[in-house]
Amino acid sequence: MEFNAKEVKDQVVRWIRDWFEVNGKGCNAVLGISGGKDSSVAAALCAEALGKDRVIGVTMPNGIQPDIDDSFRIIRHLGIRSYNVNIGAAFDALMAEVESALGHEASNQTRINMAPRLRMTTLYAVSQSNNGRVVNTCNLSEDWVGYSTRYGDAAGDFSPLGGLTVQEVVAIGEEMGLPIDLVKKAPSDGLTGKTDEDNLGFTYAVLDRYIRTGICEDPATKELIDRKHRLNLFKLRPIPHFDYTEPMAGE
């Protein structure tokens, strides 16, 4: 069945309104603005659902962000409020303290994941100081293969794009008239210097088709996607906890 971007966009807008009625009546939507498709589309959906005065975008460069003008451009395009919080000094200070305690350099994965976790801390600081609710901007494709940082960009209070693939998010962005170069910007985590697809080892087009149809012609790619999905399911589940059962009398 063909994806109807306008119909789905309207459904997401209604869902956001309904969610806020129950979970934050009168509150603001607070989200990080990277200048890519996900944050741009999520911000636009929230602006349509709640009004632009109730959406707050936060730019969070780690020192210098070469493409930060893209973030400012979507903020201006939507006419939303914004804050710029540079996490560079906090990142450097925390990394120095961690490495001092360890007595050796932190792992590369530690360095990669620390920035998004500091950004989520920043978003909650801004949100709690502005009667806000934090928007998770991850899409279904990223979540499917765990391409997010747990307690970083994978966190948030609600997820308007969590049921939509990359290509569906792009289609909604086009439907909403967002700047096309931002909507179709090559996805990149901004951390490794590579695109998402370089890091994953397959394209989002292939992944999205597999998610929606179960079809993937290349067996090696199918196995890679399945493996990533299995290994990263824990990111989508609540934290496992021990359930205490009180012993019955006489036991």
Q: Going residue by residue through the chain, which has 251 residues, state the pLDDT in tens, using 9 for 90 and above.
A: 789 999 999 999 999 999 999 999 999 999 999 999 999 999 999 999 999 999 999 999 999 988 899 999 999 999 999 999 999 999 999 999 999 999 999 999 999 999 999 999 999 999 999 999 999 999 999 999 999 999 999 999 999 999 999 999 999 999 999 999 999 988 766 656 678 888 899 999 999 999 999 999 999 999 999 999 999 999 988 899 999 988 877 66
Under DSSP, the state recorded for 218 is -
On the 0-12 / 13-18 / 19+ scale of CB atoms within 10 A, 189 is buried
Task: Check residue 172 and give its pLDDT.
Answer: 98
Q: Which two tokens stand for residue 240?
A: 């496992």
Q: What is the CATH number of domain 5-187?
A: 3.40.50.620
CB atoms within 10 A of CB 126: 22
d(CA 189, CA 187): 7
